[in-house]
Amino acid sequence: MVSTSNQSPALDSWQQNLAPYNLGYRIKLVSQLLGRKFTDRLEPFGLTPFHWLVLCCLWQEDGLPTSSIGDKLKQVGGTLTGVLDRMEERGLVRRERDTQDRRIWRIWLTDAGKELEAVLPPIAAAVRDEAMGGISSADQELFSQILNRAIANLS
């Protein structure tokens, strides 16, 4: 940070910790900007970024228990339940009780949910590519590793 002549030395030393310069604020800003861009791209499908996350979990492993989806996404049950309700109403998923444990609800993709796997990942990649424009592959990989380390440190 460049010092301005009317700032105290104490403020200069803390400048990087103050909004809008601190890391948390900038990460939040990137998240909001990415979220808005992705939301705009998902809007024609009637989906939100949270729907995308649930679909990604199920594309990787269909029939997951609700609790496993919540664990993967670090979400609380109430929030996830509402999202699953809307996805079920739109015909993207169906819920079934587990045959071994009736307390567990498993979430299964419908044909419509499965079909989105061919459509949505290229849209997500385009938003990512737009955000990462002008950043080398090596720097993108380093950025990803740094974020993973910060997440691990704070978890």
Q: How far is CA 84 from the centre of its chain?
A: 16
The answer, as to whether pTM is greater than 0.85, is no
**pLDDT tens, residue by residue, 44-102:** 999 999 999 999 999 999 999 999 999 999 875 568 999 999 999 999 999 999 999 99
- Alpha helices by DSSP H, listed for the chain, are 9-14, 23-42, 49-60, 66-73, 77-89, 111-115, 120-131, 137-154
Q: Provide the pLDDT confidence category of residue 33 given band limits of 50, 70 and 90.
A: very high
Q: How far is CA 47 from the centre of its chain?
A: 13
CATH 3.40.50.300 fits 31-125, yes or no: no
**pLDDT tens, residue by residue, 123-148:** 999 999 999 999 999 999 999 999 99
